[in-house]
Amino acid sequence: MNKIDIRTYEFTHGKSPKGRGQWVFNFLGAAKYEYADRMEFAPSNLTYTAAKSWATKHGKLIGAEVICVLP
């Protein structure tokens, strides 16, 4: 199961992620816990809910344990 971490986003923006935009996620793998393990943009201009859904599916595909929403 993937964990979505929004702390970096909340620290930078002062609020939870929401709305439409070009979302960026950092996928942290099972073997490595480096901050920049695998950073990817969600495809196109999505709502946060749709981008989070994409990130969860993509994270499962690549074996990520933690998914960070980046500012």
Q: Which helix (H) or strand (E) holds 49?
A: helix 48-62
Please indicate whether residue 21 or residue 64 has the higher confidence score (pLDDT). 21
Instruction: Measure the CA–CA gap between 3 and 13, rounded to whole angstroms.
Output: 20
Statement: residue 68 has pLDDT above 70: yes
What is the extent of the structural domain holding 34?
Answer: 3-70
Q: pTM here?
A: 0.84
DSSP 9-38: HHHHHSS---SEE--EEEEEESS---TTS-
Q: Please count the structural domains in the chain.
A: 1
pLDDT at 30: 56
Instruction: Measure the CA–CA gap between 41 and 27, rounded to whole angstroms.
Output: 11
pLDDT digits (tens, 9 = 90+) for 3-62: 899 999 999 999 999 999 999 999 987 554 455 478 899 999 999 999 999 999 988 888
